[in-house]
Amino acid sequence: MLINADCFEALKDLADNSIEAVVTDPPYGLGACTPAQVAECLQAWSSGKTWKPKGSGFMGKAWDAWVPPPELWREVFRVLKPGGHALVFAGSRTQDLMGMSLRLAGFEVRDVIQWLYGSGFPKSHDVSKALDKMAGAERDVVAKGKSGTTAIWSADGGMGSFNITAPSTPQAKQWEGWGTALKPAYEPALLVRKPLSGTVAQNTLDHGCGGLNVDGCRVETDEQLGRACGGWLKGDYVGGQTPRWNSLGTTKEGGRWPSNIILDEQASEQLEQQAGTSRFFYTAKPSASERHAGIRSEGERANVHPTVKPIDLMRYLIRLITPPHGTVLDPFMGSGSTGCAAALEGVSFIGIEREPEYFAIAQQRVAYWGGDVEALEYPPESKPEQSDTLPLFDWLDN
């Protein structure tokens, strides 16, 4: 079910304790975030009051001015079953605010999954250029591309350009090479849970959720890991005498225990030089064909949403926390990657998106990845196979 509405209002129509899992990529709140604003916000939140930010956030979007407040997450908390988990993406510099908002809504923070990637672009302010600009000094162009510029990737995946220049003033020369930001290389996803009703066992029987699908999300490996026995490895000794503790508790048949690190190709290559990466789940950033598949558009870039998550990643996260035959909710659906993943995993989905432009894109993408290709008048393309039910002891097919 896809809903074009403000999620705060739409959530009110959902019944209490009716959803098993939440996987969502909400606004990160990447606007102005001064200490005074944070203090004002937390004071309001802690007293149960509403606090509204001013300005805008990522790429000038008003919806990204601040992280969603506790009153929104309280509605999510209400519809989630006891013991139900939520995976909530956050910005690296605002995950503390996102976590606090979720905590104040009643959630327990269980862990944080780190999605590592190597293709982030630094949004840094050049201190040297700023000093020359402040002094009104022109900078000499020292290098140009074929068309007079050097091309770079912009934040939304398009192309921008700049001239390579040299500092002019003494102050600018002193601070050449200084900036204001690091290259982004990870995004956190907060793993939170609605408190259990009794024990994990009883909660699982009563509400059908409460645990994580460990076996369904093990990381495939060719290594012989041995079989765990009470925490110790049978027949595995260091120096032939001292038994070795097996912290993974895994077998070759089952694969490695899922961790709170997820890699893309570039991050995997970088880590492989220092340590083996076979213990981590791998997923690439979405390709252009994945972003735009199934969308009717006469323009070059059909999917104009600025923060599209890879479907493989959302499939893995859905599989991790969604019980068999459960329903996954995404109150910030965007262009519908969670819905596409839910369709491929064979679980029920409720997606809410306020912006009509993004909602229309999500409708087409979810229909396409859900197998309704003919209705969209698009030729079949190579897509992952769908699951009839959520597999508990099956491998990820990527």
* Cα gap 290→367, rounded to integer Å: 14
Q: Are residues 237 and 293 in the same domain?
A: no
Do 208 and 263 belong together in one domain?
A: yes
Q: For the chain, first and last CA: distance in Å?
A: 27
State the pLDDT at residue 211: 94
DSSP assignment string, 289-354: HHHHTT---SSS-S---S-PPPHHHHHHHHHHHPPTT-EEEESS-TT-HHHHHHHHHT-EEEEEE-
Q: How many whole angstroms separate alpha carbon 342 and alpha carbon 153?
A: 31
- Give the count of domains, the chain: 3
> Residue 311 maps to which CATH number?
3.40.50.150
Residue 36 domain flag: no
Phi, psi of 80, deg, nearest 5: -75, 140
Distance CA 26, CA 7 (A): 11
pLDDT at 237: 33
Q: Does 337 lie in the same domain as 242? A: no
Q: With contact defined as beta carbons under 8 Å apart, do 86 and 22 qualify? A: yes
Looking at residue 58, its pLDDT comes to 63
Query: What CA–CA distance (Å, rounded) separates 316 from 328?
Result: 13
334 with 197, same domain: the answer is yes
Domain range holding 332?
2-28+67-120+184-217+257-376
CB 248 within 8 A of CB 102: no
Q: Which two tokens stand for residue 255?
A: 């694969």
DSSP code, position 272: H
As averages over each run of 10 residues, the pLDDT of the chain (398 residues) reads 90 95 91 85 89 70 80 96 96 92 96 81 83 92 58 38 82 90 86 95 94 87 53 37 38 70 66 54 63 63 70 90 93 89 91 87 84 42 39 24
Judge if 273 and 284 occupy the same domain. Answer: yes
* CA–CA dist 249, 96 (Å, integer): 32
pTM metric for this prediction: 0.76
Co-location of 75 and 141 in the same domain: no
Tell me the pairing of strands 159-162 and 108-116. unpaired
Domain co-membership, 265 together with 311: yes
Q: Count CB neighbours of 83 within 10 A.
A: 24
For residue 217, the 8-state DSSP code is G
Asked whether residue 248 is domain-assigned, the answer is yes
Residue with token string 């605010």: 97
Write down the residue that tokens 């019944």 correspond to.
15
- Residue 386's pLDDT is what? 43
- Provide the token pair at 59: 């790429």
Interatomic CA distance for residues 155 and 135, integer angstroms: 29
